[in-house]
Amino acid sequence: MADPAVLKQLRESLKGLETGGFRRRPALPFGIPAIDSRLADEGLRLDALHEVAAGTSDMADDCAATLFLAGIAARAWGPVLWVVRRRDLFAPGLAQSGLDPKRLIYAEAKDDAELLAVMEEGLRHRGLGAVIGEAKRADMTATRRLQLAAEGGRTIALLMKRAAREGSDPIAMPSAAVTRWRVTCAPSTPLPVAGVGRPRWKLALARQKGGEGFETIVEACDATGRCALPPVMADRKAVAGGTAPRRAA
Amino acid sequence: MAVTQARAQVPGLDIRPADPEGDLASLTSLAILAARRWSPCVALSGEDGLFLDLSGTAHLFGGEAKMARHIVRLLARAGFTARIAIADTPGAAWALARYHGHCLCPPGEQARALAGLPTPALRIDEAAVELLKRLGVDRIGQLAALPRAPLTRRFGAATVLRLDQALGRIAEPLDPVTPPESIAVRQRFAEPIASAEAIEHWLGQLTPRLAAALEDEGLGVQALECIADRIDGVPQRIRIGLARPNRDPAHLLRLLKRRIEDVEPGYGIDAITLHVRRAAPLGPEPVVERLDEEAAPDIATLVDTLATRIGQDAMWRMRAVESDMPERSLARAPVLDPPIRSGERPKVDDVRQLDRSATLHPWHPAWPKPARLLRRPERLDHVIAELPDQPPRRFTWRGRPHQVIRADGPERVQGEWWKRDAERLSVRDYFRVEDEDGRRYWLFRAGDGERAVTGDLSWYLHGVFG
């Protein structure tokens, strides 16, 4: 077995030799300049906790948040641990958002405390690319623990928050998460023929550390987990005209 | 006799190829069983028998005769037909079992018991048996009566040795089988311990010893049981399972430490033992040492840790199953080492060889699938839809009305009649609909809208898209 000190020294010298200054990116960008430029780290920091919640308590919005998480995890590296409370995730649907079933490990927790403990265990292991959990109650202490467990590693911690009570806002609770997102279903891309186009979400960054929140419409994850800006966004007038009556309804 | 000839004579004859290695292996395992159960000294005798040294063990089973009956009955239950002879010497027992049948030879009587048996019962070679027959010596009694000096000169020492061994004049040592011992390490304490810290300390001492013992055998542990002997005789057990064979003391200790709270020390613990309940070979593995990046740690340790916390059943992967029914298109798989679908080699003349296109994945990427699937489809109320194949205009799910703005479909799924009789004619027409708020659902209608046998035209919601 080689001496770790020697190995470390060799790694250092190898880093010095590389001209391009290559190093593993500390953040996971969306690949959309309009979103990345507004994030403090130009992407989702890998060694941090991020929270995602559905805009409403409807199951469709819950699924939009699910696919948003699946897309982020799909773009991360390595195996993914998904800690669930119910066994209703449909693997073919996740695979269509880029999350290969070969990469995904499911774990079922009995309650929120156990779920958070399992997530923390997964984060501390350092061998996973992403850890996703679905919790109803995660207070400041619990999220702080997750954030501390994620620090120093390359495992992105994603917490999907569900409303503890009907009508309560899960994002409003104090939390140590670096970014907090709210995902809501939006009408899909119009097609020239009858049918459902590419799904769209209303993506709202409710809070982020060191930056402002914003709100935008994105097209849902494709087969590689990448979101996109709708092409009609260039034509602002059309969007404004299209969304205003829906908001009223 | 040739096999075909035998088949022609006896119809329905069960013919199997001879398997001497397999026979020997099962005989050895039987010997190990006997060595564990009945007598510490058990030896193989040829390819069809076992020697059991009953000295000092027969009384444990109620005497020799009772023990013999017991063994025969137990073997009969396991599917073996056995014949047992008990005698003072292995040679005499061998002869009586094979040439006499069930028999209990009283002590010192083997000369008389063997006198009437034919000479091959002495385990002498065939040439000697033939020669003795020509001399008119058929029975062991006759052979024993012959003068020894000419006998040795004529037939060599081997024949006389076998005779002496059978009659007990010369000892015949047996070569016993050794049952494999399970690995266990034990620590006794001069003073009983009762605190979690002390238990943890001693587990920390025991795991390296266990790892060393495992390394000597080239094994990795898969199931480990820690037994803490309490003063009042109630053993406290911690059982841990490992997803992959492992003998890393730090990892074992970490798993054990999580469960220390399960131990109730009571008045104190006398001794702690680590028993290996299941082990598998674990050889050296190549280490991929890359300089440009740190290697990601193995997932197996995480799986072990989580399995200790939430249980092995609460962790799984999903694998694709070829099925049209959405709820049957996936199945749970073990977390580690997902079994790769055995690539059955098609036959040379298989028609499928002509198909050069790549195999389709069971989950077709082009047909949108929901993110979450309801455990069972939920019935929809107040559905307005045109027949035969139009999506619904409006529906009510969980008491909430939805108006459908856009829809895709139908995707027709026929029942899998080859799997279930009830699905012989059933049809589901799946639609992907979007309501006025942009929410997308996966609905289906039971029946194709034309024939009543295919379904009753009721509508269900099966999954939800994001």
Task: State yes or no: pLDDT of A21 exceeds 70.
Answer: no
The 10s digit of each residue's pLDDT in A38-89 is 998 888 999 899 999 998 889 999 999 999 999 999 999 889 999 999 999 9
- Are residues B55 and B154 both part of a single domain? yes
Give domain status of residue B42, yes or no.
yes
Residue B111 structural domain: 27-167
Q: Are A170 and A190 in contact (CB under 8 A)?
A: no
Give the whole-angstrom CA distance, residue B172 versus residue B165. 6
**What are the C-alpha distances in Å from A150 to residues A126, A130, A177?**
9, 10, 11
pLDDT band at A2; cut points 50, 70, 90: low
Tokens 């917490």: give the residue: A159
Q: Which of B116, B141, B167 is the last residue before a domain boundary?
A: B167
Q: Which residue in chain B has the smallest CA separation from A198?
A: B368
| Largest CA-CA distance found in chain A, in angstroms, rounded | 68
Q: Which two tokens stand for residue B419?
A: 């799997």
- Are residues B161 and B192 both part of a single domain? no
The whole-chain average pLDDT of chain B stands at 87
Kindly determine whether residue B310 and residue A107, on different chains, have CB atoms separated by under 8 Å.
yes
Interface test with B, best of A22, A59, A87 (most B CBs within 10 A): A59
- Are residues B200 and B260 both part of a single domain? yes
- Are residues B125 and B190 both part of a single domain? no
Interval A232-248 mean pLDDT: 46
Domains identified in chain B, total number? 3
CB-based burial label for B447 (10 Å; 0-12, 13-18, 19+): buried
| Largest CA-CA distance found in chain B, in angstroms, rounded | 114
Of B305, B406, B464, the CB nearest to A60: B464
At residue B305, what are phi and psi to the nearest 5 degrees? Answer: -60, -45
State percent of chain A over pLDDT 90.
56
Give the whole-angstrom CA distance, residue A121 versus residue A145. 11
| Whole-prediction pTM | 0.71
Task: State yes or no: pLDDT of B352 exceeds 60.
Answer: yes
The 10s digit of each residue's pLDDT in A92-145 is 999 999 999 989 999 999 999 999 999 999 999 888 999 999 999 888 999 999
Give the whole-angstrom CA distance, residue A195 versus residue B408. 5
The 10s digit of each residue's pLDDT in B53-108 is 988 888 898 888 899 999 999 999 988 889 999 999 999 999 999 898 888 888 88
Fold adopted by A26-248: Rossmann fold (3.40.50)
Tell me if chain A has a CB within 8 Å of the CB of B464. Answer: yes
Tokens 């009609």: give the residue: A232
Which residues on B lie below 8 Å from A24 (Cβ)? 293
Interval A5-26 mean pLDDT: 69
| DSSP β-ladder status, B459-464 and B440-446 | antiparallel
The 10s digit of each residue's pLDDT in B381-420 is 999 998 888 999 999 999 999 999 999 988 999 888 888 8
Tell me if chain A has a CB within 8 Å of the CB of B390. Answer: no
Would you put residue A78 in left (φ > 0), alpha (ψ -120 to 50) or beta? left
Cβ neighbours around B239 below 10 Å, total: 14
Tell me if chain A has a CB within 8 Å of the CB of B108. Answer: no
Q: Are B456 and B440 in contact (CB under 8 A)?
A: no
Helix (H) or strand (E) holding B274: strand B269-281
Nearest-CA distance B330 → chain A (Å) = 8
Give domain status of residue B286, yes or no.
no
Q: Which two tokens stand for residue B430?
A: 């799946």
- Are residues B31 and B161 both part of a single domain? yes
The strand pairing partners of B188, in sequence order, are: B271
Which residues on A lie below 8 Å from B408 (Cβ)? 195-196
State percent of chain A over pLDDT 70.
88
- Are residues B188 and B140 both part of a single domain? no
**What are the C-alpha distances in Å from B43 to residues B71, B96, B168, B172?**
16, 17, 18, 12
Q: Which of B221, B253, B281 is the last residue before a domain boundary?
A: B281
The whole-chain average pLDDT of chain A stands at 86
Nearest-CA distance B292 → chain A (Å) = 6
**What are the C-alpha distances in Å from B457 to residues B198, B235, B269, B378, B433?**
69, 62, 68, 14, 17
- Are residues B116 and B244 both part of a single domain? no
Q: Which of B115, B139, B167 is the last residue before a domain boundary?
A: B167
Give the whole-angstrom CA distance, residue B140 versus residue B283. 55
Report pLDDT for A246.
44
Report pLDDT for A248.
41
